[in-house]
Amino acid sequence: MNDDFDRPKGIQRVRRLPDPELGTLWESIVIEEGLKERLLSQAVLNFTMRGKVDRSVVPLHGVILLVGAPGTGKTSLARGLAHRTAESFKGGGG
C-alpha cells in the first residue's frame, strides 16, 4: 500500500521525533536571545498541562503562532522546536 495515500489531507510527511537532523536545524537558527527557551517552555507546558488545567483558569490552547514574511525561517523554527520538545520528554533521546 502506498503511504502517500494513508496520510490525512494536508500532511506532507510523517517524521519520528526527536530527529538529530532537526536538532542541527534548531541549533543553526539565530533569533532574539531567550526566545528559543521561551518557545520550548511554552511547547512543553502545552503538552504537560493542557489536560490538567481548566481552560477557564488558564486559557491554554496548545498553539504557538509563528508569523513573518516568507523565507524568514518559520518552518525551520517549527521543525527544530518539535525536535527539542520531543527531547524534553522521557525517552526523548532518540
pLDDT tens, residue by residue, 13-51: 889 999 999 999 999 999 999 999 999 999 998 888 877
**Which position has the grid cell 494513508?**
6
Residue at 10 is within a domain: no
Please provide residue 66's backbone torsions phi and psi, each rounded to the nearest 5 degrees: -105, 125
Look at residues 26, 32, 60, 56 and name the one whose alpha carbon lies nearest to residue 44: 60
Residue at 77 is within a domain: yes
Residue at 6 is within a domain: no
Question: pTM, whole model, 2 decimals?
Answer: 0.78
CB-side neighbour CA atoms (13 Å) of 43: 22
Residue at 11 is within a domain: no
Domain with 74 in it: 19-87
Amino acid at 11: I
Residue at 81 is within a domain: yes
Residue at 8 is within a domain: no
DSSP letter (8 states) at residue 22: H
Residue at 31 is within a domain: yes
CA distance readout (Å), 69 to 6, 66, 75: 32, 10, 11
- Predicted confidence band at 3 (pLDDT cuts at 50, 70, 90)? low
Q: pLDDT tens-digit profile of 60-76?
A: 566 789 999 999 999 99
Residue at 94 is within a domain: no
What's the number of domains the chain is made of? 1
